[in-house]
Amino acid sequence: MKPKVFITRAVPENGIEMLREHFEVEVWSEEHEIPREVLLKKVRDVDALVSMLSERVDGELFDAAPRLKIVANYAVGYDNIDVKEATRRGIYVTNTPDVLTNATADFAWTLLLATARRLIEADSFTRSGEWKRKGIAWHPRWFLGYDAYGKTIGIVGFGRIGQAIARRAKGFGMRILYNSRTRKPEVEKELGAEFKPLDELLRESDFVVLAVPLTRETHHLINEGRLRLMKPTAILVNIARGKVVDTEALVKALKEGWIAGAGLDVYEEEPYYHEELFSFDNVVLAPHIGSATHGAREGMAELVARNLIAFKNGQIPPTLVNREVVNVRKPG
């Protein structure tokens, strides 16, 4: 008998096909998220679970899944999973690093440039017929934005994605500042990036891009005090997690002009985010699509499958998050 895996969303078919060779696969294929009580029932007899950021994978779920041995999160972040509890119970946890790095870094830049150059406002001006109604071809003061080339970018969180954002900044002739838990001397040399304490980075940057994981330390890292440090001409970009920013404070900052704009892909509550953000022309909003390219999402599906198959074959999964779990239970 093949072991059972439950996949909580219809991830790309390539990963599902790989899994079918080794597992009995069930996929939640509805568009809406799986209700919690249904999920708790579905996991009753599964050996493996493929989870999404929108699901809490915690003690309650583990209690409901006595056979569960591995959780493969379809995301690089795993703040939805109680990893400590999983490890205690001998449950392996994997994520999907690398395969989405470039897509997410590209999207940080998409938000940065779209906000700086007011692309969404310009698009709706053109598309709505407003341009035609004005009856003039152009005006020297229309849609003035901010230069990116040659400016200073401050990247908060300098892991794979933060560094990929910095690599792109090099092509824009930018001064690159970064803040992270540990210094990265090799990348400093490669990219000419300068490590800065967070407050200094915020004071000096024209673009502040958040690329940190959500942890107790990064929750509301960007609060009122820190937003007040930013230049009034600076733009904040968040492709990390909504809870890294205090949204109330951000709304205040935008209302009172402490910063020039924001490009956001993530929110404190998804999808029920602050509608107050809708009222600002200088804010570009996306529905958490940083990794949404065909290539990245297929890469994630493949990596999820590779992790589960390796585990089933008694090997350490390639992108295991909780390495200590091997002391509690051997793979397989």
| Of 33, 31, 76, the residue nearest 55 (C-alpha) | 33
Minimum separation from the CB atom of position 158 to ligand 8YV (A) = 16
Which residue lies nearer to ligand 8YV by CB, 52 or 326? 52
β-pairing, 92-94 with 152-156?
unpaired
Query: Is residue 182 part of an annotated ligand binding site?
Result: yes
The window from 31-39, 69-77, 204-212, 276-284 that contacts ligand 8YV (CB under 6 A) reads 69-77
Asked if residue 239 belongs to a known ligand binding site, the reply is: yes
* Contact (CB, 8 A) for 293 and 101: no
238 forms part of the interface with ligand 8YV (CB under 6 A):
no
List the one residue from 5, 48, 49, 53 that touches ligand 8YV (CB under 6 A): 53
Specify whether the CB–CB gap between 204 and 154 falls below 8 A: yes
Q: Does the annotation count 288 as an active-site position? A: yes
Q: Which entry of 89, 118, 226, 288 is annotated as an active-site residue?
A: 288
Residue 102: strand, helix, or coil: helix
Report the side by side order of strands in the sheet with 70-73: 24-27, 4-7, 48-51, 70-73, 92-94
Based on the residue annotation, tell me whether 32 is a catalytic residue of this protein. Answer: no
Stretch that binds ligand 8YV, among 68-76, 151-159, 245-253, 277-285 (CB under 6 A): 68-76
* Positions in 72-131 near ligand 8YV (CB under 6 A): 74-77, 100
Find the angle CA(278)-CA(279)-CA(283) to the nearest 5 degrees: 65
Q: Are strands 24-27 and 4-7 parallel, antiparallel or unpaired?
A: parallel
Structural tokens at position 202: 């915020």
Binder among 94, 218, 282, 291 for ligand 8YV (CB under 6 A): 291
Active site residues: 241, 270, 288
Q: Can you say which residues are annotated as belonging to the binding site for NADP(+)? A: 158-161, 180-182, 239-241, 288-290
Q: Residues in the site for ligand 8YV, rule: CB under 6 A?
A: 52-53, 74-77, 100, 288, 290-291
